[in-house]
Amino acid sequence: MTETTRPADGTNLAGLEPAREPLPSGLDRIAAAFATARAEGRAALMPYYTVGFPDLATSEAVIQAIAGAGADLIELGIPFSDPIADGPTIQYSTNAALQAGASVARCFETAAHLRANGLMQPFLAMGYYNPILAYGPERFAADAAKAGIDGFIVPDLPLEESEQLAAAARLQQQALAFLLAPTSPPERVAAVASHSTGFVYLVSVTGVTGARRSLPTDLAEFVGRVRAVTDTPIAVGFGISTPGQAERAAKLADGVIVGSALINAVRAGSNAPDAAAAFVRSLGERLSSTGEVSPESAG
């Protein structure tokens, strides 16, 4: 990358190289992660963590720790000042990360460092479209690929306005996973499912991210509606906060996404990487897709 592609915040990405060459494509790596979990009779565990929380060095150590604790895919949260889909926990973490100097470019640097340290799990960059648009969608996808990022989740990017980023992701063989809400009508479910690559992100509840006391009783019906129109893996997120809830979601979906509860565990612990690893292990122990749902997870 030349100096002309230096990000607006001044961070120099020149010389950023993938840790391993040649690498499978991002789409291939994501598909392989889901296939491995499926072969082991379980759902894929997909933690979300905000890059830069509480600072860049600690967030890198936390992500390293959750990778070692059993994460199958990892969502790297790109901080943004107006996270409209996020509840108070992730809003807090993103604000702290921005104050600590996090930016799109520094998120890419963190991903590249993690790849250089040997992390193999697929990375999904989750963030809002304004920073992507400011960075330039084509350059964003290219720099993300160079840093070892395999795909994207953009909560505020509707399908109808996604073609520029979708085309950039296709060029880099990266995923672009769209979100579906439980209120989505059948035609919307079919359209989003047919365009989502890597997986389809099912929002388990209406509203913003954050821990919930229980999962909705109609989650199975929602997953079934989506499953009926696509073979693409289905991941469930928003509101999953306990091992029991993760277990219940894992009986229905191909992947389980947990974010706010992980950040809460880090905030409550005296050692961020250890607290994160312990929490992720507690989730992973329950992610079997076979057998009966335990009484704890049924609520």
Q: What amino acid positions are annotated as catalytic residues?
A: 75, 86
- Closest Cα to residue 19, out of 108, 147, 124? 147
> Burial level of 259, CB count in 10 A (0-12/13-18/19+)?
buried
Q: How many CB atoms are located within 10 Å of the residue 268 CB?
A: 9
Strand partners, 200: 234
Q: CA-based angle 67:68:70, to the nearest 5?
A: 75
Report the b/e string of 24-60 with b at 16+ CB within 10 A: eebbebbbebbeebeeeebbbbbbbbbbbbbbbebbb
Could you tell me if 91 and 129 are in contact, meaning their C-beta atoms sit under 8 angstroms apart?
A: no
C-alpha R_g of the chain: 18
Could you tell me if 155 and 123 are in contact, meaning their C-beta atoms sit under 8 angstroms apart?
A: no
49 phi, psi to nearest 5 deg: -145, 140
